[in-house]
Amino acid sequence: PLHPLIAPSILSADFARLGEEVAAVARDGETRADWVHVDVMDNHFVPNLTLGLPVVESLQKVSDVPLDCHLMIDNPDKWAPGYAEAGAYNVTVHAEAAHDPVMLAKNLRAAGAKAGLSVKPGTPLEDHLEVLKHYDTLLVMSVEPGFGGQSFIPDVLEKVRTARRLVDTGHLTLLVEIDGGINASTITQAAEAGVDCFVAGSAVYGADDPGRAVAALRDQAAG
Ligand code: DX5
Ligand code: ZN
């Protein structure tokens, strides 16, 4: 893409210093993140537990980088709008967990956020195409959700290509985002498949200089 977006995932950051970790990718210039990706896990939808609304509210106060909240939780219909009300830029829910995803998208937008829908690696896109007409972002998972530092699953690029085609032909209006295993050796294939926004956890916060890692990934994605 011409203007690839890079969204560092704070799942790989030091949770005791979250404000500083966000600040490390928030300085003006090429090292600035486009979005900061916040992984919310409830230990039910995924077998891991991270953070929730109070932490997002605190981050929202100290961060001027748009927050991209990825809710890996059951019953997002009930909980997701709170993240929009807290000021998140984009709130993504899982297609496998949402009960009424069309109503949920409307509620997220009414609360002032963009609405995102995510699919796990094994979830076909075809099942959700009608619903996706109501969404602003599609988050294609390229690992099983739950943990950072896993290996990229290249099979999901077929879904990226399908989504890209549907956007480019005007059937959908959304940004295509990818999450899981994105690093210097996998980002090029994701970019070529048509991803707009790249989440990277360990590749950014595992680096000596997270800001430099953001700039390098963006350069690579731009080709
Ligand atoms: C995993 C999370 C990801 C995770 C990605 O369930 O949704 O956002 O932080 O981490 P990496 O980039 O290390 O695969
Ligand atoms: Zn995520």
Per-residue pLDDT tens digits for 11-56: 999 999 999 999 999 999 999 999 999 999 999 999 999 999 999 9
Ligand 1: centre distance to CA 190 (Å): 15
Question: Which DSSP letter does residue 47 get?
Answer: S
Q: Are the beta carbons of 204 and 179 closer than 8 angstroms?
A: no
- Exposure letters 197-215 (e unless 16+ CB within 10 A, then b): bbbbbbbbbebeebbebbb
Binned at pLDDT 50, 70 and 90, residue 135 comes out as very high
Which residues sit in the known binding site for a divalent metal cation? Answer: 37, 39, 70, 179
User: What is the pLDDT, as a whole number, of residue 173?
Assistant: 98
What number is the average pLDDT over the span 133-144?
Answer: 99
Atom of ligand 1 nearest to the CA of 141: 7
Is the pLDDT reported for residue 112 higher than 90?
yes
Q: Give dist(CA 18, CA 139) in Å, integer.
A: 23
Please list, in sequence order, all residues whose beta carbon lies within 8 angstroms of the beta carbon of residue 189, skipping any fewer than 6 positions away.
Answer: 154, 157
- Exposure letters 68-105 (e unless 16+ CB within 10 A, then b): bbbbbbbebbebbbbbbbbbbbbbbbbbbbbeebeebb
Q: Per the structure block, which two tokens stand in for 163? A: 């989504």
Ligand 1 proximal residues by C-beta, below 6 Å:
9, 11-12, 37, 39, 70, 143, 145-150, 179-182, 199-203
Q: Give dist(CA 57, CA 60) in Å, integer.
A: 5
Ligand 2: centre distance to CA 9 (Å): 7
User: What is the pLDDT, as a whole number, of residue 1?
Assistant: 78
Is the pLDDT reported for residue 177 higher than 90?
yes
Ligand 2: centre distance to CA 17 (Å): 19
- Residue to mutate (ligand 1; options 202, 214, 217; most atoms within 8 A of CB): 202
Q: What are phi and psi of 159, to 5 degrees?
A: -65, -35
Let me know if 179 is a catalytic residue: yes
Q: Give dist(CA 201, CA 199) in Å, integer.
A: 7
Average pLDDT across the chain, whole number: 98
User: What is the pLDDT, as a whole number, of residue 189?
Assistant: 98
Q: What is the pTM of this model?
A: 0.98
Which residues sit in the known binding site? Answer: 9, 37, 39, 70, 146-149, 179-181, 201-202
Ligand 2: centre distance to CA 53 (Å): 16
Q: Residue 102: helix, strand or coil by DSSP?
A: helix
Q: Are the beta carbons of 214 and 31 closer than 8 angstroms?
A: yes
User: What is the pLDDT, as a whole number, of residue 6?
Assistant: 99
What number is the average pLDDT over the span 166-180?
Answer: 98
Is residue 104 within a helix (H) or strand (E), and if so which, with residue range?
helix 101-110
Percent of the chain with pLDDT over 70: 100
What number is the average pLDDT over the span 119-132?
Answer: 98
Nearest-Å Rg of the Cα atoms of the chain is 16
Q: Which domains, from first to last, does the chain contain? A: 5-222 (3.20.20.70)
User: What is the pLDDT, as a whole number, of residue 23?
Assistant: 98
User: What is the pLDDT, as a whole number, of residue 129?
Assistant: 98
Percent of the chain with pLDDT over 90: 99
Q: Give dist(CA 97, CA 141) in Å, integer.
A: 14
